[in-house]
Amino acid sequence: MKWNFLSDEDDGVASRILIWIRKLQTFATQSAGTSAVEFALIAPVLCALMLGIIEGGRMMWVTNQLQTAVEEAAHCGVMGSTNCGTTQMIQAYAANQINGYGVTTSQFYVTNTTCGLKVTATVPYTGLFFGISMSPTLTASFCQPKMTPTITAPSTT
């Protein structure tokens, strides 16, 4: 249905408004480019979700490496290995167990407790992507009981 409000002699503002309304109606019925607009709206959300999943997986990987390092260092310290004779050597051993994430020996703490030799690590986590300000502190702790040799007397029966 065409709307003709104007007479033939009116060439002023009203005709320009009518032309503008017709162009707007034509634009509203067009569907070309809707996929591009939808993608432009969804793409940032999908990218943020993907980067978040990668960052979460990386944080879990670093936590797992940290826990393995403190377990291995506590075990090494209890076994009396030549690599782990002092507290500094145990800290260095623990720091060398972590690959791909920069930790220092000062982030490991070695204490003798009632449960045995306890190795604890506290490492600040830094995000990998675009300065994401995730700054949780990752901690891992393990207490290895001291090995005491048990001597059994020979039985006399």
Spatial distance between the Cα atoms of 98 and 77, rounded to a whole number of angstroms: 17
Per-residue pLDDT tens over the stretch 132-141 = 566 788 999 9
Examine the pLDDT at 125 and tell me if it is beyond 70. Answer: yes
- Which is more confident, 36 or 42? 42
Q: What is the mean pLDDT of residues 142-152?
A: 76
Nearest to 76 by CA among 97, 95, 93, 96: 93
Q: What is the mean pLDDT of residues 93-105?
A: 87
- Which residue intervals of the chain are DSSP H helices? 13-29, 34-79, 87-96
Nearest to 96 by CA among 120, 112, 72, 77: 72
pLDDT band at 18 (very low <50, low <70, confident <90, very high): confident
Integer distance in angstroms from the first to the last C-alpha of the chain?
Answer: 116
Percent of the chain with pLDDT over 90: 36
Examine the pLDDT at 110 and tell me if it is beyond 90. Answer: yes
Which pLDDT score, from 0 to 100, does residue 100 have? 79
Which pLDDT score, from 0 to 100, does residue 119 have? 94
- Which is more confident, 8 or 28? 28
Per-residue pLDDT tens over the stretch 63-83 = 999 999 999 999 998 887 788
Q: What is the mean pLDDT of residues 101-117?
A: 89
